[in-house]
Amino acid sequence: MNQINRALFGADFQWGVSTAAFQIEGAHTADGKGESIWDAFTNKKGKVRDAHRADVACDFYNNYQADIDLIKQLNIPNFRFSISWTRILPNGIGAVNQAGIDYYNRIIDYCLSKGIEPWLTVYHWDLPQVLEDKGGWTNRDIIQWFTEYTAVCAQHFGDRVKYWMVMNEPSVFSGAGYFFGIHAPGRTGMKNFLPAIHHIVLSMAAGAKKLRELLPDAEIGTTFSCSHIEPRSNSKRDIKAADVADALVNRLFIEPILGLGYPVSDIPVLKGLEKYYQPGDEQNMHFDFDFIGLQNYTREIVKYSFFTPYISASLVKAKDRNVPTTVMGWEVYPPAIYHILKKFDAYPQIKNILITENGAAFPDELIDGQINDTKRTEYIEANLQQVLKAKQEGCKVNGYFVWTLTDNFEWAEGYHPRFGLIYVDFDTQERIVKASGKWYADFLK
């Protein structure tokens, strides 16, 4: 592999690391925090592997200074983290919890004191349970709830935070949470999925407009999970299945935000969205973001499937294809990130692209106090080669954030997959910088 170095990406390229509140903070009832859908979901039997819970997680709530010191030690200039909605609005709307506001102000101020730029994600999956009890994303009132919450964030943090991401991976939290039921809140079926899609799109745009109104000088983005999709064969049916999967996975949320509407011609079941439309929605779905965050980990191979309702497509699992995989069962395929960048770069409405998450979980072994995670280093390096290739071909990609800083609570997988540049002993909360973290620090030096 050609040696890659930071200078090749240009002086203005943004380098960082990403995290999410629920996955790292712990302190799940501390200082007036309310219950989120993930707090409730982890209480349900059989929902999270080995009944793991995030009550303590990485205890970032109490360890944030030491962890930000590690970010500084690793030469990482940008830190992406999310706000816990129920920490600052325990009831979802209404009374503000000053202790929660103070906590995030301490994080922001400490980052800035260390010369680290804070990047805020407004919503990273932890909806207040009290709002879920009223229908959550299936209730149109959530557009107003979310806008109010976004305004609180802007009013309290906007004087020091320049970079904002409205939402994290809407296709994942809507699909896994409101169609398959494998993530919080555990709802299933089209009757939940369709209204959730539409209200998420409207909320994403409404939240962005509120940020623009209150913080005219801010850089406002939002992030999307993307997988490079390929058909299993050149048969017409497999190609059509891949097109449908691509529309569902990669186009469902970005296209309405860009003013292109939903990809109904590829996924006819989306015609069912019409019943949730109200006058003005088409205009209100659109927002001109300063940047789009893309989060890519793998590619998917898709085949025609008569038995899959609505889309007639199914994935050919990586383990059945005899390819290298991560602990998550995802294929290690670095060209995926190149193809995704080219795909999104082709939308003329997108002004700027950042890779806001990319990383891998491998079975890390602690030997003599060291984690020699060569596969993770190789994964990051190979992905960066592909990002550079796209950039050198004129793609408007101007940032790369590793997922993630520390090993953490990985949603329904619990603590099993370790994605961190830093190893966490969840019993003692000891941190050990992995070889991949040291590599990233050297790369960024």
Domain range summary for the chain, segments of one domain joined by +: 6-444
Beta-carbon contacts of residue 129 (< 8 Å; ≥ 6 apart): 34, 35, 36, 37, 39, 40, 86
Q: Is 328 helix (H, G, I), strand (E, B) or coil?
A: coil
* Residue type at position 66: A
pLDDT at 3: 81
413 catalytic per annotation = no
CB 220 within 8 A of CB 211: yes
CB 406 within 8 A of CB 424: yes
DSSP per-residue codes, 6-29? GGGG-TT-EEEEE--HHHH---TT
Beta-carbon contacts of residue 184 (< 8 Å; ≥ 6 apart): 36, 37, 38, 40, 41, 125, 127, 177
State the catalytic residue, choosing from 169, 219, 381, 410.
169
pLDDT digits (tens, 9 = 90+) for 173-199: 999 999 999 999 999 999 999 999 999
pLDDT digits (tens, 9 = 90+) for 315-343: 999 999 999 999 999 999 999 999 999 99
* Residue type at position 382: A
255 catalytic per annotation = no
> What is the rounded CA–CA span in Å between residue 411 and residue 47?
10
Average pLDDT over residues 12-33: 98
Q: Quick check: 256 pLDDT over 80?
A: yes
Report residue 358's pLDDT band, with 50, 70 and 90 as the boundaries.
Answer: very high
Average pLDDT over residues 239-263: 98
Share of the chain above pLDDT 70, in %: 100
Q: Which residue carries 């099993």 as its tokens?
A: 416
Report residue 2's pLDDT band, with 50, 70 and 90 as the boundaries.
Answer: low
pLDDT at 196: 98
Q: Quick check: 251 pLDDT over 70?
A: yes
The tokens of 386 are what? 């592909």
Domain boundaries 6-444, corresponding CATH code:
3.20.20.80
Average pLDDT over residues 60-83: 98
Share of the chain above pLDDT 90, in %: 99
Rounded to whole angstroms, the maximal C-alpha distance in the chain is 64
Cβ neighbour number for residue 209 with a 10 Å cutoff: 18
The Cα angle at residue 427 between residues 422 and 428, in degrees rounded to 5 = 70
Residue in 441, 307, 296 with CA at minimum distance from that of residue 359: 296
pLDDT digits (tens, 9 = 90+) for 225-242: 999 999 999 999 999 999
Beta-carbon contacts of residue 46 (< 8 Å; ≥ 6 apart): none
State the catalytic residue, choosing from 25, 132, 331, 357.
357
Quote the mean pLDDT of the chain: 98
Q: Quick check: 1 pLDDT over 80?
A: no
Secondary element (H or E) of residue 432: strand 430-433
> What is the rounded CA–CA span in Å between residue 301 and residue 17?
29
Report residue 305's pLDDT band, with 50, 70 and 90 as the boundaries.
Answer: very high
CB 278 within 8 A of CB 339: no
pLDDT at 440: 98
Secondary element (H or E) of residue 210: helix 190-214
